[in-house]
Copies of this chain bind each other. A is one copy, B any other.
């Protein structure tokens, strides 16, 4: 069955990227709605709530998915099955449309900051950063990217390959030489996995180390992300747990006595981040949180 596969793919990391996961999970609900044999609103809702829980448990650290699913259940008629389905469909369509439009807006806004003849530093692989750079290239600006290989999974190679295909020049560095890459750069762009109410951003391990270097060399740094990655639970003190990945990613067969540490993410101090580029505009991390509150009250 379709739904189970989506859940499995989310759990096993076959589906990656916070926005992709959000889209797939919402699509999974869509399929449940339209395959369901329920003829009472309450029955459909209880099927959906179970699916909701299953999806969230498949990846408990994804506020973007949680927010998308929350939106699907907002402002729905809970008594009339016909209206319920119509409301759910409308909401699902809105989510898809919102992501499409947000992507374009972020690419547009972010690309304005990629000046001609500049050097952009990036770490890991962020599809949002890629869209910004692609848009800047299509807008006729000529620039160079400095990127890290990003051990253990070498996502930096994916970044380099995609940029290469776009005709953008890349200088590719090992992670521990990133200071050389940053010293010559004019800006540091990176993605985000989640954002907390105190402005702290969760992203790939190494990002904060490179942010400290960027700050030392006075290089502006921007987290590039759709605003739905804000985690509303964090307002109430709930800390996002940091995922520890499989040891084999680092070293296939380490000798005995050797423990492999493989934390995939870290929490970034917002003091080190110049701004957040989202579909809402460019704001300091704290102000970004306020803007989300103001413009998207349903999230809270």
| A residues neighboring B (CB under 8 Å) | 108-113, 115, 123, 148-152, 157, 160-161, 163-165, 167-181, 183, 196-200, 205-206, 208-210, 213, 216-218, 234-239, 250-251, 254-263, 266, 269-271, 274-275, 277, 281-287, 289-291, 293-294
How far is B261's CA from A151's CA once the two chains are assembled, in angstroms?
16
Residues of B within 8 A of A175 (CB): 151, 174-176
Q: Would you call B284 and A199 a contact (CB within 8 A)?
A: yes
The A interface is mostly helix, strand or loop, or mixed, namely mixed
Q: Would you call A257 and B164 a contact (CB within 8 A)?
A: yes
> In the complex, what's the smallest C-beta–C-beta distance from A65 to chain B, in angstroms?
21
Residues of B within 8 A of A208 (CB): 179
Q: Which of B170, B180, B197, B237 contacts A259 (CB 8 A)?
A: B170
Q: Would you call B160 and A177 a contact (CB within 8 A)?
A: no
Residues of B within 8 A of A200 (CB): 274
How far is B250's CA from A178's CA once the two chains are assembled, in angstroms?
14
How far is B289's CA from A113's CA once the two chains are assembled, in angstroms?
19
Residues of B within 8 A of A237 (CB): 108-113, 277, 281-282
> In the complex, what's the smallest C-beta–C-beta distance from A202 to chain B, in angstroms?
14
Residues of B within 8 A of A266 (CB): 177
Residues of B within 8 A of A286 (CB): 283-284, 286-287
Q: Which of B109, B218, B238, B258 contacts A236 (CB 8 A)?
A: B109
How far is B242's CA from A180's CA once the two chains are assembled, in angstroms?
13
Q: Would you call A260 and B172 a contact (CB within 8 A)?
A: yes
A and B contact pairs by CB, cutoff 8 A, 7 listed: A111-B237, A112-B236, A160-B258, A174-B250, A177-B266, A179-B208, A235-B283
> In the complex, what's the smallest C-beta–C-beta distance from A180 to chain B, in angstroms?
7
Q: Which of B171, B256, B284 contacts A164 (CB 8 A)?
A: B256
